Chains A and B, each alone.
Chain A
Amino acid sequence: MFTAGAESLIKQAREIQDEDLQKFYTRVSKLLHGKDFGNETVDSLQRLYLIVSATKYSRALPEDVLQLLQDLLCSSKTAEQFQALSCAILRETFPCDLRNLSDEEGNSKTISHVAEVTLAQGSNQDKVSSVAHRVLKCLEARQPEGQSSRYLLPVLSKVISLSPDSLTEDQINLVSRKLVDWLRYASIQQGVQLSSGGFFTSPRTRQPGPITEVDGAVAADFFTVLSLGQSYTEDQWMNMHAFSMIRKWLLCYSTDGSGNGDTDDKSEVDGSVMSMVSATSTSSRLLPPKERLREKAFEYCHRLIEQSDRKALKKSDAELQKACLIEAVTVMDIICREDPSFVYRAFACVKALYGRLSGDLAFSRALLPIAQFYLNHSETAAVDSEAVYRQLFTRIPSELFQEPMLAFEFTQFCRVNVKVLRESVGIFKHSFPNLFKPLAWNSPALISEYVELLPSLIGPDTAIEILHSLLDLPCLTAALDIQLRSASSQPSERVPLDPSVKVSSSMEAFRHPYYRGMFLYILRDEAGTGDTIDRLSVLHEVLADMADSPRIVQCAQTTPILLQVFFNEAAQFADEKLINQLVLVILERSSLLYDIPNYKREVQRVFSSQLLVLCKLHPSLIVEQCKELMEFSGTTGNIQSKENFYTHVVWAIGEYLSVSYDKRCTVEQITAFFETLEAVLFEITQVRLSASIPTYSPRVITMLLTTLSKLASRSQDLIPRVSLFLSKMRSFARSPAVSSWYSEEDIEEIHTRASELINLLKLPSVAQFVLAPSTEGTSPRWHRDTNTSLPLAMRAISKVLQRDSSFSPGMQQKAGNRPRNSVGQVPREVTEV
């Protein structure tokens, strides 16, 4: 709607020529000199703002314009509109020295504006301190009639977040005392409404009535942010502002934090000697200001929690009640962290609150700070927290996964507390099926959180199930979607179907007894009922009608990232048994995936690279899993459906099936693999004249050739067979039918590879050296010892490989330049033959 016009406006502002700019400045200056500020002045100032803010760098305004703007800002007689404009403009300009305002009249609104400009121009410690000083001086002094201190507290809040050290100990105590007054002792009578005049105002000024609660009842105790009145007095405004910043204040000047408070560590209180006698309000007058503030803030929070039980008449107040609950529990948590003597009192309150809220899903967001409180303090108070965590990890993710804010806060809670949760909360480790639900629903928003969270969930006993769950994350999305739609459908549409009915959609399948168990498994709350289900392919099929739904596609796009994270983590602690299990899962699931466009390809890509990582960690797995690997590599259909992955498997076999990696490797095993792969290669290179033959990429063929050669070099009886095959391959490559399938380059590739291998295998010991190098190849000895030095060896081999070849010199060059990464570890070297 706005972009075209707005963009051109911004462009104009950025590209304004110097000459025009100067003319504009002069005009502004003239207008500001005049007394009457009309529409033209407003318009010019608005344009000036756009000019200074449209560029990334700050513009420097001419001196007189700056001066005029500062005058405008600092004068208390300026209209709000012009103050706002000059404040905005000065904020965006190159830092300038604002005149010191200490001698000027102390209009709080002006101070607020000036502070805004000062603080925006960099948090120079001196400037911030001077702002703080000015604000506090104004707060201490009595405000003249018609002005309010309420504009000053937000400034103070900003100051302490920029630079907590800018307040001295005395100033902190002063503010603490004032905060106590505002929080606890604000008036409970309504403010006098400014009379709007009028013909029928009664001669008696109306007496302001008492403050009420949000449900209309008369205020039961002291004033809080949940107290209503027709209009508010000054101290009631300060009460609201004070509470709005109390959390920040307490965090900033906590005694165990970075504030300049007491250094004695009072927080080491043994649980068994917990003080049951807490400070009462009468004796609190004797406490130092910070401690007194804590006490009063605690009372305030307690009152808020009670007030939140009332039924608000207005929806916005109901929302505020929830926000107040969250804030109150959080502030109590902070207070208890600083002073554990509050824990006992706090728990009485928080426990009661939990009891009130636990059944109500509408208050679920308040459950998080409560859980945090339990996490921080339940040990100190020896309170049982099992029920809270159970509610948190079972109900919230499974019933409220679609609430974006709650899902985010829940994930943050898990992420921030993951160490403690993993160690002391039993239910956490096994609730990952539930924890994945918010992610499955809203992957783009939560993926970066889960990338951080996931590693901590993976353990030796949960790894396999997690892997399966991750692979089926898009299925989970689909199932959640169906569950939601089913819940909101007509009751008649939720009746279970007769088992004999054939289902025609995923929605129907949800109600069909045959599929129901599968859905229930996918939607389970806790781990431990099995790594996966048998009829997974059936489930994938029945969910096919949802495979192009945007939410599922988004989930499918984020899953490969999580898989990568999973494997990175698992590789760090996996023992041999687990690695074997992982490889089996990889082999099995490489074709057992929900059919979403691109999903299979991306997952297979991750599998390919991770298979190699696992092989490197535990090379013996090839021998240990030889049965499954043989089955996998012997199935020609696998080449079609997952060519890239298949190629990697074959490479791994060639690389690691050897005695040097596992003493248990037998000649029979090598021969068995050889025959399997030979059969496959034979099948895919049959020259059939039918047009419906699928074309396999030359890479598969060369990979199979190389692997066969590698196996042969280890069991030298196989060498004649391989050589025969290789020469057949050479003629295969030259046959006319094949030239129609592959490009010239591809054919050359196959031919070259076959030729090189033939040459290599003519010298079995050289072949062994190249194709099955010992694992010591990376040791320095190979490079330093002149007898076994690698360069010498490489040169010799190059000569061998290029001998006897039927190449033309051009191709020889080409052959020489291409690195052969899959032929052992020996890169090619161009030689002078």
Chain B
Amino acid sequence: MMVVARQVKSACTLSREAAGKPPPESCLPPLDEVVAVQEADCGVFRLGAGEPFQVEKTVLWLGVLSLGFSLVCEPHENLLLAEGTLRTLARHCLEHLHLLGPPGTDVLLKVDRTEVLLDRLLPHGQLLFANHRFIHSLEKEIAACMAK
């Protein structure tokens, strides 16, 4: 995972540099998760066989301020759907893990929340063709789990 994370980090940095954006540390975080995800940098690259997975993979990434989200896909998966799913996941992570607020270290411990999110929005790694009503139902279920 570290290999992927490192590559995502350099990809994101280079992309931001090319676009002439200021370094993330100097920005004020946006107040809204939706806006944060909309304005996030995104990109995609390919990992060849053996680097480090046995088979070829495609990595989709999203850079929200100084946080990186990456989704490792099979080469011929629907990238547009994957992008949408990643954005939705990122938005929920930001919201439920309170990532836009003052930094706390316990985000690492909130694995149960991350698990619930992944379980609903990307069950067993399956991308879902979910329209906004399906998403709405899933979000209700997520909210019910998080409330406990």
Q: Is B103 an interface residue (CB 8 A)?
A: yes
- In the assembled complex, the Cα of A240 lies from the Cα of B145 at a distance in Å of 22
User: What count of chain B residues pass the 8 Å CB interface test?
Assistant: 53
A1: chain B residues within 8 A (beta carbon) = 65-67, 103
Let me know if A158 and B105 touch, CB within 8 A. Answer: no
Let me know if A85 and B111 touch, CB within 8 A. Answer: yes
A6: chain B residues within 8 A (beta carbon) = 105, 107-108
Let me know if B145 and A81 touch, CB within 8 A. Answer: yes
- In the assembled complex, the Cα of A8 lies from the Cα of B105 at a distance in Å of 9
Let me know if A244 and B131 touch, CB within 8 A. Answer: no
- In the assembled complex, the Cα of A77 lies from the Cα of B132 at a distance in Å of 30
- In the assembled complex, the Cα of A88 lies from the Cα of B114 at a distance in Å of 10
Q: Beta-carbon contacts of A154-189 to B below 8 Å, as 1s and 0s?
A: 110110010000000000000000000000000000
Q: Is A428 an interface residue (CB 8 A)?
A: no
User: Which A residues have a C-beta under 8 Å from some C-beta of B?
Assistant: 1-2, 5-6, 8-10, 42-43, 45-47, 49-50, 53, 79-81, 84-85, 87-88, 112, 115-116, 119, 151, 153-155, 157-158, 161, 214, 225-232, 237, 240-241, 243-245, 247, 251, 314, 316-317, 319-320, 322-324, 326-327, 330, 365, 404-405, 408-409, 412, 442, 444-445, 448-449, 549-551, 554
Let me know if B109 and A47 touch, CB within 8 A. Answer: yes
Q: Is B95 an interface residue (CB 8 A)?
A: no
- In the assembled complex, the Cα of A1 lies from the Cα of B116 at a distance in Å of 24
User: Which B residues have a C-beta under 8 Å from some C-beta of A?
Assistant: 10-11, 14-15, 17-20, 42-46, 48, 65-67, 74, 76, 78-81, 83-84, 103-105, 107-112, 115-116, 119, 123-135, 137, 145, 148
Please name 5 pairs of A and B residues whose Cβ atoms are closer than 8 Å in the assembled complex, sorted by A.
A46-B110, A84-B116, A241-B128, A247-B78, A365-B80
User: Contact partner of B11 among A49, A88, A151, A444, CB < 8 A?
Assistant: A444
- Provided the pairs A88-B115, A157-B124 are in contact, do residues A9 and B84 lie with their beta carbons within 8 angstroms? no
- In the assembled complex, the Cα of A1 lies from the Cα of B109 at a distance in Å of 16
Let me know if B11 and A327 touch, CB within 8 A. Answer: no
- Provided the pairs A49-B111, A84-B112, A87-B115 are in contact, do residues A154 and B123 lie with their beta carbons within 8 angstroms? yes
**Nearest-Cβ distance from residue B108 to partner chain A, whole angstroms:** 5
B48: chain A residues within 8 A (beta carbon) = 448
- In the assembled complex, the Cα of A408 lies from the Cα of B46 at a distance in Å of 9
- In the assembled complex, the Cα of A320 lies from the Cα of B134 at a distance in Å of 12
Let me know if A444 and B83 touch, CB within 8 A. Answer: no
A81: chain B residues within 8 A (beta carbon) = 112, 116, 145, 148
Let me know if B84 and A554 touch, CB within 8 A. Answer: no
Let me know if A245 and B126 touch, CB within 8 A. Answer: yes
- 17 additional contacts (CB under 8 A) given A1-B66, A2-B66: A5-B104, A6-B105, A8-B105, A43-B109, A50-B108, A80-B116, A84-B119, A158-B125, A158-B126, A314-B132, A323-B81, A330-B76, A405-B42, A408-B44, A408-B45, A408-B79, A445-B43
User: Contact partner of A240 among B19, B45, B125, B128, CB < 8 A?
Assistant: B128
- Provided the pairs A214-B131, A323-B80, A405-B79 are in contact, do residues A550 and B66 lie with their beta carbons within 8 angstroms? no
Let me know if B111 and A316 touch, CB within 8 A. Answer: no
B126: chain A residues within 8 A (beta carbon) = 153-154, 157-158, 241, 244-245
- In the assembled complex, the Cα of A227 lies from the Cα of B110 at a distance in Å of 35
User: Contact partner of B18 among A5, A49, A442, CB < 8 A?
Assistant: A442
**Nearest-Cβ distance from residue A356 to partner chain B, whole angstroms:** 18
**Nearest-Cβ distance from residue B29 to partner chain A, whole angstroms:** 8
Let me know if A9 and B108 touch, CB within 8 A. Answer: yes
- Provided the pairs A5-B103, A241-B128 are in contact, do residues A319 and B80 lie with their beta carbons within 8 angstroms? yes
**Nearest-Cβ distance from residue B129 to partner chain A, whole angstroms:** 4
